[in-house]
Amino acid sequence: MIKIVKRDQPSKTIFFFTPVLAIFLTLVAGGLIFYILGFKPFEALKFFFIVPIADKYGLSELLLKATPLCLIAIGLSFCFKSNNWNIGAEGQLTFGAIVSGGVALLFYDQEGFYILPLVILSGAIGGMIYASIPAILKTYFNTNEILVSLMLVYVSKLILDYLVVGPWSNPEGFNFPETRQFSDSARLPLLFEGLRIHTGIFLALAAVVISWFVFYKTYLGFQMKVSGFSLKTAKYAGYKGKKMIILVFLISGACAGLAGVGEITGPIGQLHREVSPDYGFTAIIVAFLGRLHPVGIIFASLVVAITYLGAETAQIFMQIPKYTGQVFQGMILFFLLASDYLLYFKFKFIDSKK
Amino acid sequence: MHKFLIRSFVSSLVLLFTLTVAAVAKDVKAAFVYIGPTGDHGWTYQHDVGRKAVEAAGFKTTYVEGVPESADAERVLRQLANSGHDIIFTTSFGYMNPTNKVAKEFPNVKFEHATGYKREHPNVATYAARFYEGRTILGTIAGTMTKSNVIGYVASFPIPEVIRGINSFTLAAQKVNPNIKTKIVWAFTWYDPGKEAEAAKALIDQGADVIAQHTDSTAIVQMAEKAGVYAFGQASDMDKFAPKAVLTSVENNWGPYYVDRVKAVANGTWSQKDTWHGIGDGMVVISGLDSQMPSDLQAKVKKLQADLASGKVHSFTGPIYDQKGNLMVAEGKTADDGMLAGMMTYVKGVEGDIPK
């Protein structure tokens, strides 16, 4: 007879093994779905996960897609590790894009080395300002940060709508909802001629290194960890909770804002209504799939990025509906949460005769 | 007997030859990039109907749906251009810059961008439909059928395309009923059933008994059906979603244009141009008229349709005044395409201001 027993301590090996298990189960379930839909499962999986990154261009697109996801997820892991549920990274991204886009538009007809640093900095500040709203409301007015940060996403999108339709719309653009193109000095330089991957990837890599250092080598990282386990313990230990809450929100907002900068000064080159295909929400999946660990997040962002590319390739070459990409993202998260059960419980074989 | 055999042999050779040539010429692949799902029963749905017409004409087609206007559009376009497609239709305004960017890299692939104005490279053409002609018909019907003299209009974004539609609609309605007022609600979306239904509800609450729409979902006609007011289908024939409310629909008929352009690529006659077709060319189609409309109105609408098609009637014929009473188009004149393309002022009789 098999009995399910609670573990004394969550297993460390299983903690890092379950994301791999989740991806494996997603592939199996995905193959099954393809089979049921009438496609050859292995061929479909090949078009989904291998063909899109089989050449230099594909790899560049993969990194381009993974960069904002990684950057935002790193920022979110600061919040999530310390029990702060920032769901509004998409809003912080949008607001960062608005502020940095505004700066870029100020210089639309100018060239100069100082423009790009200004644009990048203003994007980070924009994201921080926007993230400080739920943080301050949480610390001083005890509001729920999940609701506040989430609802501010819609507010930020409406502000962006207003600006690109109205005051910031391109005067030569027949009133279509988009701004002027930024000047070349406000654009992130490309890494390779002919590929879209740009220098914004270094921002993501820097965030990975810095976050690893903070998480595992600093007092702040330790505080976050303790607060994550138990807020009461943190209080008992005398940590100044409010300061830390605001700090992690600011870091998270800065990362999301930088992701917004990367999109508009990288591949897009202007502001319009759709600066992000919901990177801020998808990054939540990335953060958890990466186990809130900087290195894990790198891998997770690559895995999730490929579901986007694969969905396009599979539709072009096999006429598989593109929305299966979202199904894959959903399945990854589902299987991850489900297999977390193994973290806390184990199966025990018991001889029933005894 | 011999002659007959030889003749049939020769003719079958000729036939075989023509078939082969046709098959070679037809080896053109077309791709379509959609903003929404093919099942939206509005904008994207109609483009996909057009794509099916291209398939039916014997060409291979590919489509990618739900492509956001973010940085992703460029990748999808490049991938399509890279994988053997000869002509790519990009069916949303936001694809304008990516289309021109990718077109530069693939001079041998033809690009057709819907509703845009940039043709930066010789392999980029643009196309759009004169939907405002259809709205002249809807305005005529609305002005006749309204009892409250308040007509509601759910609009998407304040761009010339939409303003032009509102104006054309209002002018036609005023012509048959000088007392009408057009009330506008801006939904700031092309497709969001929830928001659209809310907008329609707000207009009905303000006394509108006919609702027109410039958004894509069927939510508005369904809301009208529930509230017992009239409405018009947008983009596709929406009669089956609200049989009592829908008086008629203005359908976007892209098929003939798509087939034409793909054939032009096959024949090597494709060239860059800006197409703006209306009822006359069959790009804008009026669905069947509902039997609730009195027969004299039906006859009037039929005649108006024919006159718009032949060019005898123009949707913007002067005198046309703006909201402040300034003359926009003089008596006996018609608005030219330049004025229509940049139209950003309401005509008299429209309530409210254009959001800025």
Q: Is B317 helix (H, G, I), strand (E, B) or coil?
A: strand
Q: What local confidence, expressed as pLDDT, does residue A104 receive?
A: 96
Task: Give the start-to-end residue ranges of the domains of chain A.
Answer: 21-326
Residues of chain A in Cβ contact (below 8 Å) with chain B:
57, 61, 64, 158, 161, 165-167, 174-178, 181, 196, 263, 266-270, 272-277, 308-309, 312-313, 315-317, 319, 321-323
Residue B1, pLDDT above cutoff 50 = no
Helices and strands (DSSP H and E) totals, chain A: 14, 2
Q: What share of chain B is helix, strand, coil (3-state, %, to 5)?
A: 45, 20, 35
CA gap B85, A95 in Å, rounded? 38
Phi-psi region of B124 (alpha: psi -120 to 50; beta: other; left: phi over 0): beta
Residue B188, pLDDT above cutoff 50 = yes
Task: Tell me the percentage of chain B whose pLDDT exceeds 90.
Answer: 77
**Smallest Cα–Cα separation from A89: which of A245, A254, A213?**
A254
Cβ pair A322:B83 closer than 8 A: no
Q: What local confidence, expressed as pLDDT, does residue B20 receive?
A: 46
Q: Is the peptide bond before A171 cis (omega within 30 degrees of 0)?
A: no
Chain A residues touching B72 at Cβ < 8 A:
277, 308, 312
Q: Is the Cα torsion angle B163, B164, B167, B170 positive or negative in sign?
A: negative
**Closest CA of chain B from A133, distance in Å:** 26
A15 Cβ contact list (under 8 Å, min separation 6): A291, A343
Residues counted in chain B:
356
Q: What local confidence, expressed as pLDDT, does residue B44 receive?
A: 93
Tokens standing for A132?
């400080």
Which whole number is the average pLDDT over A89-94?
98
DSSP assignment string, B253-292: --HHHHHHHHHHHHHT-----EEEE-TTTTSEEE-PPPTT
Predicted TM-score (pTM) of this structure: 0.84
Q: What is the largest CA-CA distance in chain B?
A: 86
Q: What local confidence, expressed as pLDDT, does residue A342 receive?
A: 79
Residue A238, pLDDT above cutoff 90 = no
Q: What local confidence, expressed as pLDDT, does residue B5 receive?
A: 52
Query: Quick one: angle between helices A241-263 and A279-289, nearest 10?
Result: 120
Q: Are B141 and B296 contacting, i.e. CB atoms less than 8 angstroms apart?
A: no
Top residue of B75, B83, B186 to mutate, by most chain A CBs within 10 Å, is B75
Label residue B23 by pLDDT band (50, 70, 90).
Answer: very low
Cβ pair A313:B65 closer than 8 A: no
Q: Which runs of consecutive H residues, i.e. helices, occur in B83-240?
A: 96-105, 131-145, 160-176, 193-205, 219-227
Burial of A281 (0-12, 13-18, 19+ CB in 10 A): middle
Q: What local confidence, expressed as pLDDT, does residue B4 receive?
A: 53
Q: What is the largest CA-CA distance in chain A?
A: 85
Chain B residues touching A53 at Cβ < 8 A:
none
Label residue A350 by pLDDT band (50, 70, 90).
Answer: confident
Q: Is the ipTM of this complex over 0.85?
A: no
Label residue B41 by pLDDT band (50, 70, 90).
Answer: confident
Which whole number is the average pLDDT over A51-66?
93
Chain B residues touching A273 at Cβ < 8 A:
69, 94
**CA dist A28 → A44, A332, B193, B319 (Å):** 12, 11, 35, 68
User: Tokens 């990618």 correspond to what residue?
Assistant: B64
Q: What local confidence, expressed as pLDDT, does residue B2 receive?
A: 56
Residue B10, pLDDT above cutoff 80 = no
**Smallest Cα–Cα separation from A282: which of A70, A77, A116, A94?**
A70
**Smallest Cα–Cα separation from A255: which of A280, A286, A289, A292?**
A280
Q: What local confidence, expressed as pLDDT, does residue B8 receive?
A: 57
Of A176, A275, A322, the CB nearest to B64: A322
Cβ pair B342:A174 closer than 8 A: yes
Top residue of B29, B67, B72, B93 to mutate, by most chain A CBs within 10 Å, is B72
Instruction: Specify the DSSP element, H or E, that contains A216.
Output: helix A200-217
CA gap A323, B49 in Å, rounded? 20
Which whole number is the average pLDDT over B320-329?
92
CA gap B348, B356 in Å, rounded? 19
Fold of A21-326: ABC transporter involved in vitamin B12 uptake, BtuC (1.10.3470)
Q: Is the Cα torsion angle A186, A187, A191, A197 positive or negative in sign?
A: positive
Chain B residues touching A308 at Cβ < 8 A:
72
CA gap A79, A85 in Å, rounded? 6
CA gap A280, A284 in Å, rounded? 7
CATH numbers and ranges of domains, chain B? 24-129+254-277 (3.40.50.2300), 131-251+316-341 (3.40.50.2300)
What's phi and psi for B114, nearest 5 deg? -80, 135
